[in-house]
Amino acid sequence: MKKIIFLLLLICCFGCSESTTDMNEGTAQQMYNSIKGTYAGNIMVDNIPQSINIALGNDLTVRFLPLRSILGRIFSGGELVEAEKSAGSVAFTIPLDQMMITGENVYLTLVPTDLVFSVIVDNKTYVVSALIGGAVYVDNASGNLSMNLDVTALYCEGTTYDLKNNGINYFVDNAKKE
């Protein structure tokens, strides 16, 4: 549902915006440079907002990504708590793919990238790999950033977890530039 709302927001913004600026490579680079920076926002996990930090530069780095949604597909109960605790704070960098500009709005697509991390449960190390892609939308006029990350594949120790009917989605709305 959050993904649909995010996409509808993007369509509305693109449809309602009128560009009065002649767009060329220099103008596009200037606009991109203006949105680079660090943003702070919240991401919902089990209906509880958790702080997240997003750095937008030559790529996108997410700090403090909550892993409960990912780990909850692999572990449960006390194992899930142990896995979360052992994972600690995860930083994830994902390359930028394409940029679209409409008026003052910038839309960036992200190259699907594996987030690989280890957890320890019952004194055994598990390597988790989650393929993540998505998009970033920046309203340059307000300076707010919205981000949608989708986990499209999940693996742990040779086991593939089905995400087709019940995907994992991270959504950040209106992160503020610091």
Pull the structure tokens for residue 96: 């930028």
Q: What is the pLDDT of residue 20?
A: 40
What's the angle, vertex CA 127, arms to CA 169 and CA 59, rounded to 5?
Answer: 50
Is the predicted pLDDT of residue 87 greater than 60, yes or no? Answer: yes
| pLDDT tens track for 129-153 | 999 999 999 998 888 999 999 999 9
Strand pairing partners for 149? 134, 170
Is the predicted pLDDT of residue 75 greater than 50, yes or no? Answer: yes
Residue 22: pLDDT band by 50, 70, 90 thresholds?
low
Instruction: Name the residue with higher pLDDT: 164 or 114.
Output: 114
Residue 13: pLDDT band by 50, 70, 90 thresholds?
very low
Query: What is the average per-residue pLDDT within 89-117?
Result: 93
Is the predicted pLDDT of residue 48 greater than 90, yes or no? Answer: no
Residue 21: pLDDT band by 50, 70, 90 thresholds?
very low
* Closest of 145, 111, 166, 141 to residue 9, by C-alpha: 145
Is the predicted pLDDT of residue 98 greater than 50, yes or no? Answer: yes
* Other CB atoms within 10 A of residue 118 CB: 11
Query: What is the average per-residue pLDDT within 164-176?
Result: 91
Distance of CA 54 to the CA centre of its chain: 9
Boundaries of every domain in the chain: 2-7+42-177
